[in-house]
Structure 1
Amino acid sequence: MTSTPKSTRKWAESTALASVLFMGTVAAPAGAFAADAAEASDAPRFDEIVVTARKRTETMLDIPMAINVVSEKTLEKLGANDFTDILGTVPGLTAYQNGPGRTRIVIRGISNGGGNDNDTQNQETVGVYLDEIPISMGSMNPELSLFDLERVEVLRGPQGTLYGAGSMAGTIRLVSKKPNLNEVEGKVETSLSTISEGTENYSVKGLVNIPIIEDKFALRMSGYYMSNGGYIDNVLEGHEAKDINDGSSKGLKLAGRVQVNEDFTIDLTFMHHDYSDNGRPEDVDAAGELSRNYPSFDGYDDEMQIYNMTMTYDLDTVELVSSTSFFKRDIINPRSLDQFYVLVDGFGDLVPHELIDYTQTETFVQEVRVSSTTDNPLQWTVGTYFDQKDVAYQNTWPVPGSDAIMPPASGFGAPDDHLYYGTDDLTVKTFAVFGEVYYSFDKFTVTGGLRYFNWKQDISSYVSGILAGGGTTDNPAQGTADGFNPKLNVSYDVTDDMLIYAQVARGFRYGGVNGSIPEAECADDLAEVNVSIEDTKTFDADKTWNYEAGAKGRLLDGRVMVNASYFYIKWQDVQTSRRFECGFGFKENVADSSSHGLELDVTAYLMDGLSLTVGGSYMTSTLDIDVPNLNAFEGDRAPYVPKFAMNATLEYVYPLTDNMDGFVWANVQHTGHRQTEYNVNHADYRDMEAYTVANVRIGFEWENLEVSLFANNLFDDRGVVRALRRAPFDPDGAIRITPRTMGITVRGNF
C-alpha cells in the first residue's frame, strides 16, 4: 500500500475546500454585488444589543465602557465550544494555555504570570462568570460549553467596583438563555470533522424548553457530548502511539423559572460538566512538530457541579436581586517528569511515573443587590457580597520501587515509594459592600462607584519527602487584607447614536501565603538576597489604575457601529516569583509595570446581506523598574502580550429560494509576536512568532434547518500559543493552535 506524503495531502485538502467555497460563492445571485446606492440605503440598522454588564439591563451602546458582545449567532458561526474559541475576535483579549481547563486569560497586558497551574496562591486577574456565578480559578479557568448561551460579554479594564477581586484586568460573562414560560422550544445540533494529521471530532448537543404551567413555571434542559480528536503522536521507541491528546467533554444543564407573581421571579440552575483527555496538546522540540518522546501518562480530568438560585423582585421603583451559588470542582492534573530518570543516577531502571496534582474546590457565594428602575436622572445600584472558598490540594510524586533504590526516602514523612508528598488546605472568606451611582444632566452622565472589601485566608501547608529537602514541614499561616476600590466615569452624548467617555478605575488582586522554605537548605540563597524566613511567609495584594477614553455608537443611518478606546494602566506591586538554587522559592511584590494601547472594532452593513467586522488592538506592556529576580529591566516587554492583534469577519447571506438562504462566512485572526520572559538573557526566554488563522463556513438555512461546511485554520498554520519553558526535568516544547479542521454541522430548531 502506497502512502500519500503529508504535504500532498495538505495541498489536496486545501484545494478541495477552496473548490467548494468557490462553488458556494458563485451560487449567489451575480447581480447582488451590483446593487446601487439607493438599495444600499435600505440596508438594515444594527439592532440594540441588550447587556447586563453593570448588573442592570441596558443597551451596549448606552454603557460608557469598553465592552464586546459575542452573540449566539456569532458563536455558532465560529463553531465555538468554549470561551477560548472567541479569543481572537475581541480586541485586547489573549491567553496562554496548557490545554483545556488550564488557561490563563490576559486582558490589556495584565495576566497572573507563570508558575504551576495548580498553585493555590496564583490568583486570576480576569474574572469569569456564568450568569451570577464566579467560576474563575487562577490558572485553571473552566472551559464550559457555550451551547444555549444568549451571549458572551467581555468587559475590558478593571471591574473592581461591581465584580471585585479577580477582575483587575477585566471580566468575561457567559450569559445563559432563561426558561421560556410560554413556548415549547428545542434545538438539536451535531457536528463531524477531521483534524489534519489527526483523528476525528464529533459532537451531539440538544435542548428542550417546556412550559409546565403556562406563565408560571418552565423547565429548560440542555446537554452535550463532544469527542475531541487528537493530533500529538508519541514517537518514543517502544511507546509509539498516535493522537495521544484525544479527549471528551460532556455536560448537562437544568434550569427552572418560577413566576411567583408578576413581580417576583425565581430562577434555579444546576450544571454538571466533565472533561478528560489522554495527554497534553504539547509537542517536544527534540521529537519534532506535533510529536513527543516520553512514556509517562499526563492526561487531565476536570469535573464540576454548579448550583444557583436567583430571586428577582420588582418593587416598582427598585429591583431587588438575591443570588445564592455553590460551585464544586475536582481536578486531577498529572505532569510528566520523565527527564528526572535520565538526569539522576540510579533511577534509570525505574518505570517513569508522573507528578500528580489533585485539587478539590468548594465555593459558596451570596450576593444581594438593589437597583433603581425609574426614569429619573439619578440611578443607582448598591449591594453586598460574601464568598467562602475551601480548597484541598495534594501534590504527590509516587515512584514505585524508589524506596528500594533510595532507602531513606520513606523516612521523611512521605508515604512509601513517594519522593515527594505535599498538601495545601485553605479557607478563603471575602466580604464586600459595593455601589455605583449614575447622574444624567443635559447630555452628560457622571458615574461614581466604590467597593469596600475585607478578605481573610487561613492555610495549612505540609511538605515531605526527599525532594522536599529531606524532611517534613507543617506551616499554618494566615493572610488578611481590606480596602476600597473607586471608579469615576464621565460620558457625553454627542448624538442619540454616539457617545464619548473618560474613566478612571482601580482594580486589585488579593495577596497570599507562600509555602515553607527549609532554612537549612536555603540559607545561602536567603543570605544572598538579604531576606529572612519571616519575610518570605506572605505577599501583598497588587493593584491596577486604569485611565481610559473612548467613543462608541452608530453612524451612516445606523449601518456602521464603532467601538474605540485608548487606555493607560499602571500596575503596582506586581506579584512575581523568585526561585532559589536550593529548589524552593516564594512570591513577592517587587515590580511595577504599565500598559497603554488602542482598541478598535467596527461593524458595517456594506449592502443588503453583506456585513464586515474589523477589530484589533495595538498595545505595549512594559516594566517600569528593574527586577533582578526576573533578570528583567525597565522597558522590557511583558511575556505573552502581542503588540498587535487583529481580526476581520465577512459574512454574506443571499436568497436561494423563497424559503431558503445561503451564506458564506469567513474570518481571519492575526496574533503578533510574543515571548515567554521579559528579557532575552533569561534562561527560559523563548520567542513565539506571529501567526494568522483563517476560518471559513458555507451553508444554507431552510426554515428551521441549517447545514454548513467549515474549515478552521484553513491554511494549517502551526502557530505557537505557548512555548514551554525549560525546567530541570522537562524538555523544551510548545503548545500550538489546532491543525486544520474540516467538517460539517447540522442544526435544527423547533
Structure 2
Amino acid sequence: MEYTQTIKHTFQNTSANAFAKTRIALFVATIIGSSAIQAQESASPGVAEQVEYERVVVTSRKRSESMNDVPISINVVSEDLINNLGASDFTDLIGVVPSLTAYQNGPGRTRLSIRGVANGGGNDNDTQNQETVGIYLDEIPISMGGMNPELALFDLKRVEVLRGPQGTLFGAGSMTGTVRLVSNDPNLSEFEGKYEASASTIEHGSQNASLKALVNVPIIEDKLAVRVSAYYLDNGGYIDNSLTGEKDLNDGNAKGAKLSALYIPSDELSIEMSLLHHDYSDNGRPVDIDSTPLFVRDYPSFDGYDDTMDIGNLTLTYDLDWAELVSSTSYFDRSIVNPRSLDLLIESALPPSVTPHELIDFTDSKVIVQEFRLASISDSDLQWTVGVYADKKDVFYENTFPVPGVDAILGTPSSDFGAPVDHLYYGFDDLTVKTYAVFGELYYDIGDFSITGGLRYFNWEQNIEFYQSGLFNGEANSDERPKGSVDGFNPKLNVSYHLNRDNLVYAQAAKGFRYGGINGAVPVSVCADELAEVERDGGDTRFFDPDEIWNYEVGVKGSDSKGTISYNATYFHINWTDMQTSRSFECGFGFKENVGDATSKGIELEVTVKPIEGLTLSAGGAYINTSLDADVPNLGAQKGDAAPFVPETSFTASAEYSMQLNENIEGFGWMNLQYTDDRFTEFSKENENYRKMDAYTLANLRLGVRFSGYEISLFANNLLDDDGVVRAIDRPPFDPPASIRVTPRTVGVTFRGGF
C-alpha cells in the first residue's frame, strides 16, 4: 500500500538500520490496519461516516485532539476505571497500563519506567536521581527521581500515559514517556458536587476508610467559577513486628485539599488558578523479612514516612484568533522525612550494647517553573506549537544517623569525625539546578498523510555543596565538586497515514534524554582500595554524564465507525546508550556512572470491544525484552542480561456490564485481571544481591447499583489473596533478605453521590 511505502522512505532517511529492524512490525501494522477497515466496512457498509460516537479527547500534544488523531502510543485511564479500581494513587494504575512498570520501595518512593528502560538500585533520596518518566498534574511537572509524589486520584477527567520519548514538548524527565493527571476544570454554569465514602478490611491486617468530597460554585455565570475538593484516607496496615509486638505497623493516612478557579473576563482571555496541599504519613515500610512468616519482620527501628507538599499553578490563555498564547507558572514545595532501618549493620559492626536506631533522611525541595507557548488554531494544513521553558530547583538533603549513647559506648566522640554528638554519620547536599529550553513541533497534512517534526534545545546547569562526616564516613570531607552543565538538541520525526477518519498507521523516530549529575565524595579512609581500582580503570567518581535513547516505533490505532471496537498496537525498538547506573562498593558507599549500552524492543497492544449494549470488554498487554549489548564488568553483567524489575510479559483484561434492574435502578459489575511476569533485581545472576521475583496475578471485582444520582458497590481487590513480590531486597549488611508485596486481599464497600 502507498502509506507503507511512505513510512519506509521516511525511516530510510532517518536511519536505515532502524528501518531494517522494524520491517516485520510495519507489515503487521499494515495487516491490522487493513483488517480493521474491512471489518468496519462489512459491519456497516455505506453508512460508516454518518454514525457519530463519543470520542476520547486528549491533550498529549498540549492541544485538545481526538485520541485517534494523535500518532503516538497513548493509554487513557478513565475516571470510571479509576473508580472501579478504587485507585488511591498512580502506582495503583501500573497493572492496567501495558509497558508501565516500577521500582517500588513503599508509598512515595516509586520510580516509574516505560518500555523497559530501567536499571533499579540506588538510594531513594539521592538528589542525583534523574527520572526517565515525567509526571505532570495538569500543567505542573511533579516528578522527582526516586521519590515521585503519590497524590490522591480524585476529581480527575483521566490519566494519560504517553509511551515513548516526549522530550520535545515535556523535556528531559520524559526520556521514555510521560504520565499526565488531568483534572476536571471548574464548571462556569452549574452548581454541582460529589462525595464518596469507602470502608474496607485488609486480609491479615486492619481497616481502611476514606472520605472525599468536592463542590463547584459558579460565582458569575459563564465568567467565574470556583471548585474545591478535599480527601482523607485512613490506610490500614498488614505488617507485624514479632520483636516489638506491634501490629499492622505500616498503617498511615493521606489528606489534602485543592482549590481551583476559572475566570474568563473576555472572549479572548481565560485565567485558571489552582492550589493543592497534600500530607501523607505512615508508621513503617511494607517490608517483611524472608526468614519469618509472611507480613512479619523482627527489627526495632522506626521507618515511618512523612511527606508534605504544596503545589500551585497560574495559567493564562489568550486567543489571538490565529493562535493561542499560553503562560503557565508553577510552584512546587515538598518536604520529606524518610527513615530507614540499618539494624543489621549496627549488629554486625558495633558492640551489642549499642541500641539500634534508624538512619533519617530529610529532603526539602522548592521548584519554580515558567512556560510560554504559542499554538496555531487555524484551519491550515500546517499547524505548529512553539514555546520557551525555564525552571529553578533548590534541594536541601540532610542524611543523619543518630544513635543515642554511641559516643559513650565507643569512647570516641563523634566530633572527632566532624559529626554532631552521637551521630555515626552526618551529611548534607545543597543543590541548585537551572534549566531553560526552546521547543517546537510542526504538523503538516498532505491529504491523508501527516508529518510531524519536533525539536527542543535545552540548557542545564547544576551546582552542589556537600558535607559528609562521622565514624561510618571515616572522616569529615567537603571536597569541591565540579559544576555540572550540558546543552543540546532533542529531535523527533513522525509520519502517519489516516486509513479513514477513525484509523491511522504511523512511524516515529524520537530521541529521549535525561541530565547527568554530580556525585558526593566517596571517603578515601574507608573505601581506599575500591577507589584505587576505579582510578586504575580511568573512571571518575565525581560526576556522571547524560544518557539517551533513540526510540523507533510503528503503530496502528483506531476504531470502527460506531465506536464498538477500538485498538492500539505498537512495535518499538530502543537503543539506550551511556546508561546511568549505580555502582555500590563493599565499604557501603557508591556512585553513579555511565556504563554500557542496552537494547529494548517489544510490542504493546490494547483492544476494547462493546459487543452488546451495556457490556464492555477490554484487554491489553506488553512484551518487553531489554538486554545489555555488551559485557559490563562494573556491574558483573554480561551481554544479553535482562534489565532488572522489568517483566518480559504483562497483561490486563477486564469486563464491565450494566443493566436496568427496574425503572429507577441500574445494576453493574466489573471484573479485572492483571498478570505480571517474573522479574529480577540485578542484571546478572552472579551478582550477590540478585534475587528473582516470581510472576503473580491480581484479580479485582466490583458489584453495585446506581439510583437517583447515588452509587453503592461492594468490591474485592486482590480477590485471590496473591502474595506477589513487587520489590525483593537483599544487601547485607545494610538490608536483610526481605520483600515488599502486593497488598493482601481487601474487601469493602463504597458509597458515591452527587448533586
Instruction: Please state which band the TM-score falls in when normalised by the shorter chain.
Output: over 0.9
Q: Counterparts of 1:223 and 1:749 in 2: how far apart (Å)?
A: 15
Alpha-carbon offset, residue 726 of structure 1: 1.8
Q: 2:128 aligns with which of 121, 127, 130?
A: 121
Deviations, residues 665-713 of structure 1 (Å, cap 9, x unaligned): 0000000010001111100000000000000000011121011000000
Contact 1:95 1:106 in 2 (8 A): yes
Mark the CA change 1:530 to 1:145 in structure 2 (over 3 Å): closer, same or farther. Answer: same
**Do residues 143 (structure 1) and 150 (structure 2) align?**
yes
Partner residue in 1 for 2:26? none
Name the SS of the counterpart of 1:657 in structure 2.
Answer: coil
Q: Counterparts of 2:735 and 2:97 in 1: how far apart (Å)?
A: 33
**Do residues 388 (structure 1) and 395 (structure 2) align?**
no
Name the SS of the counterpart of 1:319 in structure 2.
Answer: strand
Q: Counterparts of 2:696 and 2:621 in 1: how far apart (Å)?
A: 14
Partner residue in 2 for 1:6? none
Deviations, residues 644-666 of structure 1 (Å, cap 9, x unaligned): 00000100111111122100100
Q: 2:530 aligns with which of 490, 513, 525?
A: 525
Q: Counterparts of 1:280 and 1:249 in 2: how far apart (Å)?
A: 15
Alpha-carbon offset, residue 57 of structure 1: 0.8
Alpha-carbon offset, residue 45 of structure 1: 7.1
**Do residues 543 (structure 1) and 548 (structure 2) align?**
yes
1:445-460 map, 5 Å: 445-460=450-465
Q: 2:737 aligns with which of 729, 732, 736?
A: 732
Mark the CA change 1:218 to 1:531 in structure 2 (over 3 Å): closer, same or farther. Answer: farther
1:33-112 map, 5 Å: 47-111=54-118
Name the SS of the counterpart of 1:731 in structure 2.
Answer: strand
Name the SS of the counterpart of 1:85 in structure 2.
Answer: helix
Mark the CA change 1:557 to 1:268 in structure 2 (over 3 Å): closer, same or farther. Answer: closer
Alpha-carbon offset, residue 503 of structure 1: 0.1
Mark the CA change 1:112 to 1:209 in structure 2 (over 3 Å): closer, same or farther. Answer: farther
What is the identity, as a one-letter code, of the residue corresponding to 2:389? Y
Deviations, residues 127-161 of structure 1 (Å, cap 9, x unaligned): 00000000000000001011001110000011110
Partner residue in 2 for 1:272? 277
Alpha-carbon offset, residue 94 of structure 1: 1.2
Alpha-carbon offset, residue 510 of structure 1: 0.2
What is the identity, as a one-letter code, of the residue corresponding to 1:667? N
Q: Counterparts of 2:99 and 2:56 in 1: how far apart (Å)?
A: 21
Partner residue in 2 for 1:217? 224
What is the identity, as a one-letter code, of the residue corresponding to 1:230? G
Contact 1:111 1:124 in 2 (8 A): no
Deviations, residues 380-405 of structure 1 (Å, cap 9, x unaligned): 00000000000000000001101112
Name the SS of the counterpart of 1:607 in structure 2.
Answer: coil
What is the identity, as a one-letter code, of the residue corresponding to 1:357? D
Partner residue in 1 for 2:709? 704
Alpha-carbon offset, residue 533 of structure 1: 9.6
Contact 1:258 1:266 in 2 (8 A): yes
Q: Counterparts of 2:237 and 2:524 in 1: how far apart (Å)?
A: 45
Contact 2:119 2:643 in 1 (8 A): no
Alpha-carbon offset, residue 581 of structure 1: 3.2
Alpha-carbon offset, residue 534 of structure 1: 8.3
Q: 1:309 aligns with which of 308, 311, 314?
A: 314
1:184-263 map, 5 Å: 184-236=191-243, 239-263=244-268
Q: 2:402 aligns with which of 390, 398, 402?
A: 398
Name the SS of the counterpart of 1:342 in structure 2.
Answer: helix
Partner residue in 2 for 1:157? 164
Alpha-carbon offset, residue 585 of structure 1: 2.2
Q: Counterparts of 1:499 and 1:563 in 2: how far apart (Å)?
A: 10
What is the identity, as a one-letter code, of the residue corresponding to 1:59? S
Q: Counterparts of 1:77 and 1:523 in 2: how far apart (Å)?
A: 55
**Do residues 695 (structure 1) and 700 (structure 2) align?**
yes
What is the identity, as a one-letter code, of the residue corresponding to 1:629? N
Name the SS of the counterpart of 2:415 in structure 1.
Answer: helix
Alpha-carbon offset, residue 535 of structure 1: 2.1
1:326-345 map, 5 Å: 326-345=331-350
**Do residues 651 (structure 1) and 656 (structure 2) align?**
yes
Note the aligned Cα RMSD (angstroms). 1.6
Contact 2:216 2:225 in 1 (8 A): yes
Contact 1:104 1:111 in 2 (8 A): no
Q: 2:668 aligns with which of 660, 663, 667?
A: 663
Name the SS of the counterpart of 2:440 in structure 1.
Answer: strand
What is the identity, as a one-letter code, of the residue corresponding to 2:161? V
Q: Counterparts of 1:612 and 1:451 in 2: how far apart (Å)?
A: 40
Name the SS of the counterpart of 2:731 in structure 1.
Answer: coil
Contact 1:562 1:600 in 2 (8 A): yes
Name the SS of the counterpart of 2:407 in structure 1.
Answer: helix
What is the identity, as a one-letter code, of the residue corresponding to 1:425? D
What is the identity, as a one-letter code, of the residue corresponding to 1:296? S
Q: Counterparts of 1:700 and 1:193 in 2: how far apart (Å)?
A: 18
Deviations, residues 19-42 of structure 1 (Å, cap 9, x unaligned): xxxxxxxxxxxxxxxxxx99xx99
**Do residues 173 (structure 1) and 180 (structure 2) align?**
yes
The normalised TM-score by structure 1 is 0.93
What is the identity, as a one-letter code, of the residue corresponding to 1:133? I
Name the SS of the counterpart of 2:173 in structure 1.
Answer: coil
Partner residue in 1 for 2:3? none
Q: Counterparts of 1:647 and 1:515 in 2: how far apart (Å)?
A: 42
Name the SS of the counterpart of 1:732 in structure 2.
Answer: strand
Q: Counterparts of 2:619 and 2:712 in 1: how far apart (Å)?
A: 26
Contact 1:475 1:515 in 2 (8 A): no
Q: 2:603 aligns with which of 598, 602, 609?
A: 598
Alpha-carbon offset, residue 466 of structure 1: 0.9
Q: Counterparts of 2:522 and 2:537 in 1: how far apart (Å)?
A: 10
Deviations, residues 544-600 of structure 1 (Å, cap 9, x unaligned): 100000000012643100111000011100011222333332211111001000000
Q: Counterparts of 2:232 and 2:53 in 1: how far apart (Å)?
A: 34
Q: Counterparts of 2:136 and 2:104 in 1: how far apart (Å)?
A: 19
Q: Counterparts of 1:187 and 1:89 in 2: how far apart (Å)?
A: 26
Q: Counterparts of 1:338 and 1:83 in 2: how far apart (Å)?
A: 31
Length, aligned pairs only: 708
Deviations, residues 355-374 of structure 1 (Å, cap 9, x unaligned): 00000000000000000001
**Do residues 352 (structure 1) and 359 (structure 2) align?**
no
Contact 1:576 1:587 in 2 (8 A): yes
Q: Counterparts of 2:533 and 2:477 in 1: how far apart (Å)?
A: 25
What is the identity, as a one-letter code, of the residue corresponding to 2:510? A
Q: 2:748 aligns with which of 732, 743, 747?
A: 743
Alpha-carbon offset, residue 410 of structure 1: 2.7
Where in structure 1 are there 5+ consecutive unaligned residues? 1-36
Q: 2:521 aligns with which of 484, 504, 516?
A: 516
Contact 1:112 1:138 in 2 (8 A): no
Alpha-carbon offset, residue 531 of structure 1: 4.4
Contact 1:112 1:123 in 2 (8 A): no
Mark the CA change 1:533 to 1:358 in structure 2 (over 3 Å): closer, same or farther. Answer: farther
Q: Counterparts of 1:522 and 1:719 in 2: how far apart (Å)?
A: 37
Alpha-carbon offset, residue 527 of structure 1: 2.9
Q: Counterparts of 1:637 and 1:362 in 2: how far apart (Å)?
A: 36
Q: Counterparts of 1:531 and 1:572 in 2: how far apart (Å)?
A: 23
Alpha-carbon offset, residue 524 of structure 1: 2.4
Mark the CA change 1:605 to 1:380 in structure 2 (over 3 Å): closer, same or farther. Answer: same
Contact 1:412 1:472 in 2 (8 A): no
Alpha-carbon offset, residue 537 of structure 1: 1.1
1:14-25 map, 5 Å: none
Alpha-carbon offset, residue 166 of structure 1: 0.9
Q: Which deviates further from its counterpart, 534-543 or 715-724? A: 534-543
Partner residue in 2 for 1:373? 377
Q: Counterparts of 1:579 and 1:534 in 2: how far apart (Å)?
A: 14
Deviations, residues 303-342 of structure 1 (Å, cap 9, x unaligned): 0000110000111110000000110000000001111232
Partner residue in 1 for 2:587? 582
